[in-house]
Amino acid sequence: MANITIRATNFRVIKQLDWQPDGVCLLAGANGAGKTTCLDMLLFLRTLFEWGHENAFLVVGGGSYFRRLGITEEETVNFEVEVENIVWKLRFPMSDHGIKGIYAEELICDNKLILRAGLFEETWQLGSERLPLDEKRCCAKVLWDRGKSDWMRPLASALSGISIFKSFPLNQVQKPETVSESISYLRRTGNNLWSVLATWKTAPIRYGGQFEWVMSEARKAFPDIMGTVEIDRGQPYLFPPNSTDFADGLPPSRAADGLLTGLLQLTAVAGARPGSIIAFDEMENQLHPHAIRSLLNSMRMQANERNLTIIVTTHSPVVMNTFRREPEHFFVLQRGVEHNPTPLTELHDEDWLAAFSLGDLYDRLDFAAPDLNRLEN
Protein backbone atom coordinates (compact mmCIF):
# COMPACT_ATOMS: atom_id res chain seq x y z
CA MET A 1 0.00 0.00 0.00
CA ALA A 2 1.64 3.29 1.03
CA ASN A 3 4.77 1.28 1.97
CA ILE A 4 5.49 3.48 4.97
CA THR A 5 7.08 2.57 8.29
CA ILE A 6 6.50 4.78 11.33
CA ARG A 7 8.73 4.62 14.40
CA ALA A 8 8.48 6.65 17.58
CA THR A 9 9.80 6.71 21.13
CA ASN A 10 8.63 8.58 24.23
CA PHE A 11 5.56 10.13 22.58
CA ARG A 12 2.78 10.48 25.17
CA VAL A 13 1.89 6.94 26.35
CA ILE A 14 3.95 5.29 23.62
CA LYS A 15 7.30 4.02 24.87
CA GLN A 16 8.40 2.62 21.54
CA LEU A 17 6.44 2.15 18.31
CA ASP A 18 7.50 0.41 15.11
CA TRP A 19 4.66 -0.04 12.63
CA GLN A 20 4.14 -0.63 8.93
CA PRO A 21 0.37 -0.37 8.37
CA ASP A 22 -0.88 -1.97 5.17
CA GLY A 23 -4.32 -2.30 3.59
CA VAL A 24 -7.23 -1.97 5.99
CA CYS A 25 -5.79 -2.20 9.52
CA LEU A 26 -7.44 -2.33 12.91
CA LEU A 27 -5.81 -0.78 15.98
CA ALA A 28 -7.18 -1.98 19.33
CA GLY A 29 -6.21 -1.51 22.94
CA ALA A 30 -7.48 -0.72 26.39
CA ASN A 31 -8.48 2.86 27.20
CA GLY A 32 -5.32 4.92 27.42
CA ALA A 33 -3.18 2.42 25.51
CA GLY A 34 -2.42 4.90 22.74
CA LYS A 35 -4.84 4.42 19.85
CA THR A 36 -5.63 8.11 19.48
CA THR A 37 -1.98 8.89 20.22
CA CYS A 38 -0.98 6.91 17.13
CA LEU A 39 -3.36 8.92 14.98
CA ASP A 40 -2.12 12.17 16.49
CA MET A 41 1.42 11.09 15.66
CA LEU A 42 0.51 10.68 11.99
CA LEU A 43 -1.28 14.04 11.99
CA PHE A 44 1.70 15.69 13.70
CA LEU A 45 4.16 14.36 11.11
CA ARG A 46 2.04 15.44 8.17
CA THR A 47 1.49 18.93 9.57
CA LEU A 48 5.15 19.30 10.53
CA PHE A 49 6.26 18.57 6.97
CA GLU A 50 3.62 20.72 5.30
CA TRP A 51 3.16 23.64 7.69
CA GLY A 52 5.98 23.61 10.26
CA HIS A 53 6.39 22.57 13.87
CA GLU A 54 4.29 25.36 15.43
CA ASN A 55 1.22 24.27 13.48
CA ALA A 56 2.05 20.63 14.12
CA PHE A 57 1.99 21.13 17.89
CA LEU A 58 -1.21 23.14 17.56
CA VAL A 59 -3.19 20.41 15.76
CA VAL A 60 -2.35 17.82 18.44
CA GLY A 61 -3.21 20.02 21.39
CA GLY A 62 0.11 21.74 22.05
CA GLY A 63 3.41 20.69 23.56
CA SER A 64 2.20 20.00 27.10
CA TYR A 65 2.16 16.27 27.91
CA PHE A 66 3.79 15.63 24.54
CA ARG A 67 6.53 13.46 26.02
CA ARG A 68 6.01 10.21 27.89
CA LEU A 69 5.65 10.51 31.66
CA GLY A 70 8.58 9.32 33.72
CA ILE A 71 11.41 10.01 31.29
CA THR A 72 14.28 12.33 32.17
CA GLU A 73 14.68 15.90 30.94
CA GLU A 74 17.57 14.76 28.73
CA GLU A 75 15.52 12.19 26.81
CA THR A 76 13.96 13.38 23.58
CA VAL A 77 10.72 12.50 21.79
CA ASN A 78 11.75 10.80 18.57
CA PHE A 79 10.03 10.07 15.26
CA GLU A 80 11.19 8.27 12.17
CA VAL A 81 9.41 7.91 8.83
CA GLU A 82 10.73 5.42 6.28
CA VAL A 83 9.34 5.34 2.75
CA GLU A 84 11.11 3.11 0.24
CA ASN A 85 14.80 4.14 0.41
CA ILE A 86 14.21 7.41 2.30
CA VAL A 87 14.37 7.89 6.08
CA TRP A 88 13.34 11.11 7.83
CA LYS A 89 14.40 11.35 11.50
CA LEU A 90 13.31 13.89 14.12
CA ARG A 91 14.25 14.48 17.78
CA PHE A 92 12.34 16.92 19.98
CA PRO A 93 13.72 18.24 23.31
CA MET A 94 10.63 18.52 25.49
CA SER A 95 9.69 19.59 29.00
CA ASP A 96 6.36 19.08 30.73
CA HIS A 97 5.24 22.42 29.29
CA GLY A 98 6.43 22.21 25.69
CA ILE A 99 9.41 22.21 23.40
CA LYS A 100 12.64 23.41 25.05
CA GLY A 101 14.49 24.55 21.97
CA ILE A 102 15.41 23.73 18.39
CA TYR A 103 14.65 20.18 17.34
CA ALA A 104 17.00 17.88 15.43
CA GLU A 105 16.36 16.55 11.94
CA GLU A 106 18.06 14.18 9.50
CA LEU A 107 17.17 13.06 5.99
CA ILE A 108 18.78 9.93 4.61
CA CYS A 109 18.51 8.40 1.13
CA ASP A 110 20.07 5.07 0.15
CA ASN A 111 21.89 5.08 3.52
CA LYS A 112 23.52 8.43 2.64
CA LEU A 113 23.02 11.42 4.93
CA ILE A 114 21.51 14.24 2.83
CA LEU A 115 20.83 16.86 5.49
CA ARG A 116 21.33 17.26 9.20
CA ALA A 117 20.18 19.78 11.81
CA GLY A 118 21.48 19.20 15.34
CA LEU A 119 19.65 19.78 18.60
CA PHE A 120 19.64 23.47 19.59
CA GLU A 121 21.63 24.44 16.47
CA GLU A 122 20.50 27.47 14.48
CA THR A 123 21.96 26.22 11.19
CA TRP A 124 21.71 22.99 9.25
CA GLN A 125 23.97 21.08 6.92
CA LEU A 126 23.02 20.25 3.32
CA GLY A 127 25.92 18.57 1.62
CA SER A 128 28.75 21.08 1.84
CA GLU A 129 26.36 23.98 2.52
CA ARG A 130 25.70 25.39 5.98
CA LEU A 131 22.31 27.14 5.95
CA PRO A 132 20.27 29.12 8.51
CA LEU A 133 17.13 27.42 9.79
CA ASP A 134 13.83 28.51 8.31
CA GLU A 135 11.55 30.02 10.95
CA LYS A 136 8.53 27.97 9.87
CA ARG A 137 9.52 25.10 7.59
CA CYS A 138 11.41 21.97 8.56
CA CYS A 139 14.65 21.37 6.66
CA ALA A 140 13.18 18.54 4.59
CA LYS A 141 10.38 20.83 3.40
CA VAL A 142 12.86 23.59 2.53
CA LEU A 143 14.75 21.09 0.38
CA TRP A 144 11.54 19.78 -1.23
CA ASP A 145 10.30 23.31 -1.98
CA ARG A 146 13.43 24.02 -3.99
CA GLY A 147 11.95 21.75 -6.65
CA LYS A 148 15.23 20.02 -7.44
CA SER A 149 14.91 16.87 -5.33
CA ASP A 150 12.38 14.69 -7.12
CA TRP A 151 13.87 11.67 -5.36
CA MET A 152 12.01 12.94 -2.25
CA ARG A 153 8.62 12.44 -3.92
CA PRO A 154 7.78 9.11 -2.19
CA LEU A 155 8.29 10.70 1.24
CA ALA A 156 6.52 13.97 0.40
CA SER A 157 3.60 12.12 -1.19
CA ALA A 158 3.22 9.73 1.75
CA LEU A 159 3.21 12.54 4.31
CA SER A 160 0.88 14.85 2.40
CA GLY A 161 -1.47 11.91 1.79
CA ILE A 162 -2.18 11.34 5.49
CA SER A 163 -5.78 12.15 6.51
CA ILE A 164 -6.99 11.69 10.08
CA PHE A 165 -10.71 11.73 10.89
CA LYS A 166 -11.77 11.70 14.53
CA SER A 167 -15.30 12.14 15.83
CA PHE A 168 -17.18 14.12 13.20
CA PRO A 169 -19.04 17.18 14.58
CA LEU A 170 -22.37 16.15 13.08
CA ASN A 171 -24.03 19.41 14.11
CA GLN A 172 -21.96 21.14 11.42
CA VAL A 173 -23.07 18.58 8.84
CA GLN A 174 -26.72 18.77 9.90
CA LYS A 175 -26.88 22.55 9.48
CA PRO A 176 -24.70 23.25 6.45
CA GLU A 177 -23.92 26.58 4.91
CA THR A 178 -24.86 27.18 1.28
CA VAL A 179 -23.30 24.45 -0.83
CA SER A 180 -20.37 25.35 -3.07
CA GLU A 181 -19.46 23.39 -6.19
CA SER A 182 -15.77 24.21 -6.08
CA ILE A 183 -14.55 21.98 -3.23
CA SER A 184 -13.36 18.48 -4.06
CA TYR A 185 -11.78 17.15 -0.85
CA LEU A 186 -13.20 16.48 2.61
CA ARG A 187 -11.85 18.50 5.50
CA ARG A 188 -10.88 16.78 8.77
CA THR A 189 -14.09 18.03 10.39
CA GLY A 190 -16.26 16.86 7.50
CA ASN A 191 -18.17 20.17 7.59
CA ASN A 192 -17.89 20.56 3.80
CA LEU A 193 -19.43 17.16 3.00
CA TRP A 194 -22.28 18.48 0.88
CA SER A 195 -20.04 20.79 -1.13
CA VAL A 196 -17.71 17.90 -1.95
CA LEU A 197 -20.60 15.66 -3.03
CA ALA A 198 -22.08 18.50 -5.12
CA THR A 199 -18.73 19.05 -6.85
CA TRP A 200 -18.35 15.36 -7.65
CA LYS A 201 -21.93 15.08 -8.88
CA THR A 202 -21.62 17.94 -11.37
CA ALA A 203 -18.41 16.53 -12.93
CA PRO A 204 -18.66 12.72 -12.86
CA ILE A 205 -16.02 12.15 -15.55
CA ARG A 206 -13.49 14.50 -13.98
CA TYR A 207 -13.91 12.94 -10.55
CA GLY A 208 -14.09 9.33 -11.70
CA GLY A 209 -17.66 8.64 -10.60
CA GLN A 210 -16.86 9.28 -6.94
CA PHE A 211 -20.34 10.63 -6.20
CA GLU A 212 -22.09 7.56 -7.59
CA TRP A 213 -19.67 5.24 -5.77
CA VAL A 214 -20.50 6.94 -2.45
CA MET A 215 -24.22 6.68 -3.19
CA SER A 216 -24.07 3.00 -4.23
CA GLU A 217 -22.04 1.98 -1.16
CA ALA A 218 -24.28 4.05 1.12
CA ARG A 219 -27.31 2.21 -0.28
CA LYS A 220 -25.68 -1.09 0.67
CA ALA A 221 -24.95 0.11 4.20
CA PHE A 222 -28.34 1.81 4.72
CA PRO A 223 -30.70 0.01 2.31
CA ASP A 224 -33.93 1.15 3.94
CA ILE A 225 -33.19 4.88 4.18
CA MET A 226 -30.64 5.82 1.50
CA GLY A 227 -31.47 6.55 -2.11
CA THR A 228 -29.55 9.62 -3.27
CA VAL A 229 -28.55 13.19 -2.45
CA GLU A 230 -29.69 16.22 -4.42
CA ILE A 231 -28.78 19.88 -4.09
CA ASP A 232 -31.57 22.43 -4.53
CA ARG A 233 -30.84 26.17 -4.37
CA GLY A 234 -27.64 25.55 -2.47
CA GLN A 235 -29.15 23.18 0.12
CA PRO A 236 -28.73 19.38 0.31
CA TYR A 237 -31.60 16.91 0.57
CA LEU A 238 -31.41 13.17 1.21
CA PHE A 239 -33.93 10.94 -0.52
CA PRO A 240 -34.97 7.41 0.52
CA PRO A 241 -34.95 4.55 -2.01
CA ASN A 242 -37.24 4.79 -5.05
CA SER A 243 -38.23 8.42 -4.39
CA THR A 244 -40.17 10.17 -7.14
CA ASP A 245 -41.44 13.22 -5.27
CA PHE A 246 -39.19 16.08 -4.14
CA ALA A 247 -41.29 16.28 -0.98
CA ASP A 248 -39.74 12.94 0.07
CA GLY A 249 -36.37 14.64 0.55
CA LEU A 250 -35.04 15.31 4.04
CA PRO A 251 -32.65 18.09 5.02
CA PRO A 252 -29.50 16.90 6.83
CA SER A 253 -30.97 18.02 10.15
CA ARG A 254 -33.61 15.26 9.81
CA ALA A 255 -31.25 12.53 8.63
CA ALA A 256 -30.08 9.69 10.88
CA ASP A 257 -26.74 10.28 12.58
CA GLY A 258 -25.49 6.90 11.37
CA LEU A 259 -26.30 7.73 7.76
CA LEU A 260 -24.39 11.00 8.00
CA THR A 261 -21.44 9.21 9.58
CA GLY A 262 -21.44 6.61 6.81
CA LEU A 263 -21.57 9.28 4.10
CA LEU A 264 -18.65 11.09 5.72
CA GLN A 265 -16.52 7.94 5.88
CA LEU A 266 -17.31 6.92 2.30
CA THR A 267 -16.60 10.43 1.03
CA ALA A 268 -13.27 10.49 2.86
CA VAL A 269 -12.25 7.20 1.26
CA ALA A 270 -13.51 8.08 -2.22
CA GLY A 271 -11.67 11.40 -2.18
CA ALA A 272 -8.31 10.02 -1.09
CA ARG A 273 -5.71 9.95 -3.81
CA PRO A 274 -4.08 6.58 -4.62
CA GLY A 275 -1.44 5.56 -2.10
CA SER A 276 -2.86 7.69 0.71
CA ILE A 277 -3.19 6.84 4.40
CA ILE A 278 -6.61 7.44 5.95
CA ALA A 279 -7.50 6.87 9.60
CA PHE A 280 -10.85 6.81 11.41
CA ASP A 281 -10.92 6.99 15.20
CA GLU A 282 -13.63 4.66 16.56
CA MET A 283 -15.32 4.33 13.17
CA GLU A 284 -18.25 2.42 14.64
CA ASN A 285 -19.80 5.47 16.36
CA GLN A 286 -23.53 5.88 15.51
CA LEU A 287 -23.44 2.83 13.20
CA HIS A 288 -25.61 -0.30 13.12
CA PRO A 289 -23.66 -3.61 12.90
CA HIS A 290 -24.83 -4.14 9.31
CA ALA A 291 -23.61 -0.68 8.35
CA ILE A 292 -20.24 -1.32 10.02
CA ARG A 293 -19.69 -4.53 8.07
CA SER A 294 -20.84 -2.96 4.80
CA LEU A 295 -18.67 0.14 5.17
CA LEU A 296 -15.60 -1.93 6.01
CA ASN A 297 -16.22 -4.06 2.91
CA SER A 298 -16.36 -0.85 0.87
CA MET A 299 -13.11 0.35 2.44
CA ARG A 300 -11.36 -2.94 1.67
CA MET A 301 -12.47 -2.73 -1.94
CA GLN A 302 -11.07 0.78 -2.31
CA ALA A 303 -7.87 -0.11 -0.47
CA ASN A 304 -7.21 -2.93 -2.94
CA GLU A 305 -8.18 -1.00 -6.05
CA ARG A 306 -6.48 2.30 -5.23
CA ASN A 307 -3.51 1.30 -3.11
CA LEU A 308 -4.88 2.89 0.07
CA THR A 309 -3.91 2.26 3.67
CA ILE A 310 -6.95 2.65 5.93
CA ILE A 311 -6.56 2.53 9.71
CA VAL A 312 -9.52 2.14 12.05
CA THR A 313 -9.37 2.25 15.82
CA THR A 314 -12.11 0.56 17.78
CA HIS A 315 -13.53 -0.98 20.93
CA SER A 316 -16.28 -2.65 18.90
CA PRO A 317 -16.47 -6.46 18.75
CA VAL A 318 -18.45 -6.05 15.51
CA VAL A 319 -15.52 -4.27 13.86
CA MET A 320 -13.09 -6.83 15.22
CA ASN A 321 -15.10 -9.75 13.84
CA THR A 322 -14.65 -8.44 10.30
CA PHE A 323 -10.91 -9.15 10.64
CA ARG A 324 -11.36 -12.85 11.40
CA ARG A 325 -9.97 -13.87 8.00
CA GLU A 326 -7.06 -11.46 8.16
CA PRO A 327 -5.86 -11.31 11.80
CA GLU A 328 -2.44 -10.19 10.56
CA HIS A 329 -4.05 -6.78 9.93
CA PHE A 330 -5.30 -6.63 13.54
CA PHE A 331 -2.82 -4.74 15.75
CA VAL A 332 -2.89 -4.47 19.54
CA LEU A 333 -1.51 -1.64 21.66
CA GLN A 334 -0.38 -2.59 25.16
CA ARG A 335 0.78 -0.32 27.95
CA GLY A 336 4.20 -0.95 29.42
CA VAL A 337 5.58 -3.16 26.64
CA GLU A 338 8.80 -2.41 24.80
CA HIS A 339 7.37 -2.49 21.28
CA ASN A 340 3.98 -1.43 19.93
CA PRO A 341 1.74 -2.24 18.19
CA THR A 342 1.77 -6.04 18.20
CA PRO A 343 0.06 -8.04 15.44
CA LEU A 344 -2.63 -10.23 16.93
CA THR A 345 -1.02 -13.21 15.21
CA GLU A 346 2.05 -12.72 17.40
CA LEU A 347 -0.05 -12.79 20.57
CA HIS A 348 -2.05 -15.88 19.63
CA ASP A 349 -1.70 -18.78 17.20
CA GLU A 350 -3.63 -18.23 13.95
CA ASP A 351 -5.32 -21.65 14.15
CA TRP A 352 -6.47 -20.87 17.69
CA LEU A 353 -7.77 -17.45 16.61
CA ALA A 354 -9.70 -19.03 13.73
CA ALA A 355 -11.72 -21.10 16.20
CA PHE A 356 -13.21 -18.04 17.90
CA SER A 357 -14.96 -14.77 17.23
CA LEU A 358 -12.33 -12.05 17.68
CA GLY A 359 -14.93 -9.82 19.29
CA ASP A 360 -15.67 -12.52 21.88
CA LEU A 361 -11.97 -12.91 22.65
CA TYR A 362 -11.71 -9.15 23.16
CA ASP A 363 -14.82 -9.15 25.35
CA ARG A 364 -13.41 -11.85 27.61
CA LEU A 365 -10.09 -9.94 27.89
CA ASP A 366 -7.87 -12.35 25.95
CA PHE A 367 -6.11 -9.35 24.37
CA ALA A 368 -6.17 -5.52 24.47
CA ALA A 369 -7.31 -5.67 28.09
CA PRO A 370 -6.63 -3.29 30.99
CA ASP A 371 -4.22 -4.45 33.68
CA LEU A 372 -6.65 -6.06 36.12
CA ASN A 373 -3.81 -7.06 38.44
CA ARG A 374 -3.76 -3.47 39.67
CA LEU A 375 -7.18 -4.08 41.22
CA GLU A 376 -5.61 -6.60 43.55
CA ASN A 377 -2.93 -4.23 44.80
pLDDT digits (tens, 9 = 90+) for 222-258: 999 999 999 998 899 999 999 999 999 999 999 999 9
pLDDT tens digits, 310-326: 999 999 999 999 999 99
Name the percent of the chain lying above pLDDT 70.
Answer: 97
- Return the closest-CA partner of residue 119 out of 105, 137, 136, 134: 105
Q: Report how far residue 35's alpha carbon sits from residue 40's, in angstroms, rounded to the nearest whole number.
A: 9
Instruction: Report the b/e string of 291-300 with b at 16+ CB within 10 A.
Output: bbbbbbebbb
- Return the closest-CA partner of residue 160 out of 141, 146, 143: 141
The per-residue pLDDT for 175 is 85
- Return the closest-CA partner of residue 28 out of 268, 376, 369: 369
User: What does the chain come to in residues?
Assistant: 377
325 burial type by CB count under 10 A (0-12 exposed, 13-18 middle, 19+ buried)? exposed
Phi then psi for residue 7, to 5 deg, are: -125, 145
Mean pLDDT for 363-370 is 80
Query: Running DSSP on this structure, what letter comes out for residue 9?
Result: E
pLDDT tens digits, 164-182: 998 899 999 998 778 877 8
What confidence category does residue 1 fall into, taking pLDDT thresholds of 50, 70 and 90? very low
Instruction: Assess whether pLDDT exceeds 50 at residue 61.
Output: yes
The per-residue pLDDT for 372 is 59
Mean pLDDT for 207-225 is 97
Spell out the domain ranges in the chain.
169-271
